[in-house]
Amino acid sequence: MSKGRAQAANQQLLQAMAIRLDFDPIEFLLRRRFGSDTIHPFSALPARGRSTASAPNDEEELLRKREAYEKELRELLPDELNERVRVAKEKDEAAREARFSFNRLSALANAGTYDHWAKAAYWKEDEAVALLIERNPNSVNWKCVQYKLDISQVADRFAQLRELVLRAQTMGQLARYTIPGFFLAWAKRNQIDVPPGLEEAVRNHGHQVADWKTAYDEQVARTVAAEAALLELRQQTDALEQTPAEKGLSTRERESLLKLVIGMAVDGYGYDPAAARSPIPKEIADQLAARGLPLDQDTVRKYLKEAGELLPRQDDDDT
């Protein structure tokens, strides 16, 4: 294509872009390199503080460079000009993102980060989302990204994923405290990219990244069974409190009931009897209250602790 035809095609592209987007790519590139009254935030501006004597010569030289660069741009083919704009915008975006604390090296996830969090019994929503976008949950959470929405692609991505997680929790697809393997299965089923290093670490620590729908259905079944057991426990407790001690449950009956409780709590809710302060008693109490069966969480914790003592000890299993 001749220079004249290239310039004509370029002019047509500029006119079309001005109509559609009110954007002049040549003016954008000129402002970015030389600055203007409307300074681009990442322009390569000429140095300030020049002496009065040298200013005219500097300004003339700057003007010559600007005119030469504009001439170069106007002789480009439309695709070539678009590529210049694309590369410039990518550099600007990278420079903008680099300013935010959640994009600093210390906030990025690495193999050590994934290994540490793969050992965790559960993840909260902000922790899980941070890991998905390859950030360290100790440095990146909703509090630090919420004020950077619409000016940071990373912050926008965090917000989008967090909304999906919160909606999944509302519908019971994810728990408030979700098992790592279960969360990754949910993400993969929803075609959300999972960092390979994170998935590898989770598998290495014995978490099964199971099919999300199957795991969800199994979890629902366990939850229903656990709720039925808790309802029965509540009824038995009420009966015990309303009858004389001599007419209460026998020792064997009480032990059988406690065995049922601990089995449902461990399998249905992931209760760990060895945990110093488990969130499970509160979760059980909240679910009971939602179904019109209020029971104080301390009472739930007391019965779970008592029932946990019936579990075989590790040293018993070894003998």
pLDDT tens sequence across 287-319: 888 788 888 888 888 888 887 787 777 655 554
Name residue, tokens 């990146």.
Answer: 140
* Residue 110 in this model has a pLDDT that exceeds 90: yes
Q: Which residue, 56, 75, 99, sits at the end of a domain?
A: 99
Round to whole Å and give the CA distance between 255 and 262.
11
The answer on 116 and 92 residing in a single domain is: no
The answer on 233 and 283 residing in a single domain is: yes
Q: Which residue, 64, 83, 99, sits at the end of a domain?
A: 99
* Residue 185 in this model has a pLDDT that exceeds 70: yes
What is the arithmetic mean of pLDDT over 115-121? 95
The answer on 18 and 95 residing in a single domain is: yes
Q: What is the pLDDT of residue 241?
A: 65
φ/ψ (deg, to 5) at 38: -100, 90
Q: What is the pLDDT of residue 141?
A: 94
* Residue 133 in this model has a pLDDT that exceeds 50: yes
* CB contact at 8 A, 229 and 223: no
The answer on 109 and 85 residing in a single domain is: no
pLDDT exceeding 70 applies to what percent of the chain? 79
What is the arithmetic mean of pLDDT over 226-248? 70
11-48 pLDDT, tens digit each: 655 555 444 457 888 888 888 888 764 334 444 444 44
Strand partners, 178: 123
Instruction: Give 44: exposed, middle or buried? Use CB within 10 Å, 0-12, 13-18, 19+.
Output: exposed
Q: What is the pLDDT of residue 124?
A: 95
49-96 pLDDT, tens digit each: 444 444 567 888 888 888 888 888 888 898 888 888 888 777 777 777
The answer on 202 and 120 residing in a single domain is: yes
* CB contact at 8 A, 141 and 126: yes
Q: What is the pLDDT of residue 145?
A: 92
> DSSP characters for 238-275?
HHHHHS-GGGS--HHHHHHHHHHHHHHHHHHH---TT-
Listed as own residue / partner, the contacts of 284-288 with beta carbons closer than 8 Å and 24 or more positions apart are 284/226, 284/230, 287/227, 287/230, 288/227, 288/230, 288/231, 288/234
The answer on 206 and 110 residing in a single domain is: yes
| CA angle (153, 154, 156) in 5-degree steps | 65
Helix pair 3-21, 78-98: axis angle to 10 deg: 50
The answer on 15 and 72 residing in a single domain is: yes
Range of the domain at 91: 3-99
The answer on 205 and 222 residing in a single domain is: no
Q: Which residue, 83, 99, 115, sits at the end of a domain?
A: 99
Output the six-digit token pair for 41: 């935030």
| CA angle (123, 296, 262) in 5-degree steps | 60
The answer on 126 and 86 residing in a single domain is: no
SS3 label, residue 198:
helix
> DSSP characters for 25-55?
HHHHHHHHHH--SS--TT--PPPS---TTTH
The answer on 182 and 159 residing in a single domain is: yes
The answer on 223 and 306 residing in a single domain is: yes
Q: From 22, 59, 198, 214, select the one nearest 116 (Cα to Cα).
A: 198
The answer on 64 and 39 residing in a single domain is: yes
Domain count along the chain: 3
